[in-house]
Amino acid sequence: MSFSDPAAVANYAEGPPRFVPGFTDMQRMARVLLAERAPCDARVLVLGAGGGLELAAFADGQSGWTFDGVDPSAPMLALARQATVAHAARIRLHEGFIDAAPDGPFDAAACLLTMHFHARAGAQSCAARDPRTPASGQSVRRNAPERGS
Q: What is the CATH number of the domain that holds 43?
A: 3.40.50.150
Per-residue model confidence as pLDDT tens digits over 34-74: 999 999 999 999 988 878 889 999 999 999 999 999 988 88
Q: Does residue 7 belong to any structural domain of this protein?
A: no
The span from the CA of 24 to the CA of 47, in Å, is 18
Q: Does residue 78 belong to any structural domain of this protein?
A: yes
96's CB contacts (< 8 A; 6+ apart) are 70, 72
Per-residue model confidence as pLDDT tens digits over 71-108: 888 888 998 999 999 999 999 999 998 888 999 899 99
In one letter, which amino acid is 114? T
The span from the CA of 31 to the CA of 18, in Å, is 20
Chain-centroid distance of CA 29 in Å reads 14
**97 lies in which domain range?**
24-140
Q: Does residue 146 belong to any structural domain of this protein?
A: no
Chain-centroid distance of CA 128 in Å reads 16
The H or E element that residue 72 is part of is none
Q: Does residue 5 belong to any structural domain of this protein?
A: no
